[in-house]
Amino acid sequence: MSERFPPGMTLARGFLLALVAVATLAFLWLVAPFSGAILWAVIAAVLFEPLNARLLAAMPRRPGRAALATLLIIVVVVVVPAMLLGAALLREAAAFYARVQSGEIDLGRLFVQTQGHLPAWARSWLADIGLDDVGGLRSKLSQGFASSFRAVAVQVLSIGQGAFGFFLALGVMLYLTFFLLRDGHALAARVERAIPLRRDQRAVLVAKFVAVIRATIKGSLIVAILQGTVGGLTFWLLGLPGALLWGVAMGVFSLFPAIGTGFIWVPVTVYLLATGAIWQGAILFLCGFFIISSVDNIVRPILVGHDARMPDYVVLVATLGGFELMGFNGCVIGPAIAALFMAAWEIFGDAEPPAPAIESEDRASPTMGSGE
């Protein structure tokens, strides 16, 4: 049997590789319904691992208690506030939609008011791109907003009807988070040993990937929360309607480099200035330019550092691609795939090429000659 199958290519090894591939694909298909819960469990474990390490240092040889304490902190600090925020956001979105339906908020009229205060060159540019038909534009804006909100409402209703599924996914996420906090290092070590690379290459791959993932997740999520909070408070202090909605929107858009929160506060600033709300527009512009937008430049280097940060253009393309393919979860999965891509190519570029066969033969020839 050994003569028929040379070393490294035996039938047993081929069967084992096929079995591993099939079992892995089957397992991925099996856990696909809980992919979001698994993803956020990994994110929670990565973000709160330093806190778990401190608690474990305070209670050595009790990893279960340390993980349970960390999990309780996650529930109190993250899960409960997120659920309260989601409930408040749904209420405010429903109230905003009711005002649009009743005609209290007329998007077409708001655009017409803004257009009337714009300079001649801006009105001419709007006419060139086909936005000078007031009646048609008002109808399109109202219909487009109504259809978009109805689509969101359908998703929200389906979530409400599937409350059992939501709490089941939440339970799976918290359950996995506990075990990842308790046994994460051992699981990571087993995965690293299974990678078919040299030990130094495995160490570089895992270290680079984990550093970039932790930096991306920690930097993006915390900056999004801070920018959304500052933006929402600014809108609320200025008395603008829908402050919670706009704050959440700015937090979401902050995940996309080069787009950022300016996608929200710049058009609102233009509208306020064009409609005569000069002091509100001026304050929003100053807060948006010097405070909201500066959060990313100040906080992200402190949280992430410069060595582990991916280029903004890579983050933008990976985030947009992930969002297009996988929805909101893709905002995290996209940069993770990009981090793995960059880490793999860095190892490939630094790998030493194998020695040529001729060189090895030249080294062997003197020994063979001396033996003769």
Query: 50-68: per-residue pLDDT in tens?
Result: 899 999 999 888 889 999 9
Record the pTM: 0.68
pLDDT tens for each residue of 108-156: 666 666 666 666 666 666 666 555 555 555 555 555 555 555 555 555 5
Is residue 360 scored above 50 in pLDDT?
no
pLDDT tens for each residue of 257-303: 777 888 888 888 887 887 778 898 899 999 988 888 888 778 777 76
> What is the reported pLDDT for 69?
94
> How confident is the model over 29-57, as a mean pLDDT?
88
Is residue 312 scored above 80 in pLDDT?
no
Percent of the residues in the chain that have a pLDDT greater than 70, as a whole number:
73
> How confident is the model over 86-102, as a mean pLDDT?
76
Sequence length of the chain is 372
Every domain of the chain and the residues it spans: 34-183, 195-350
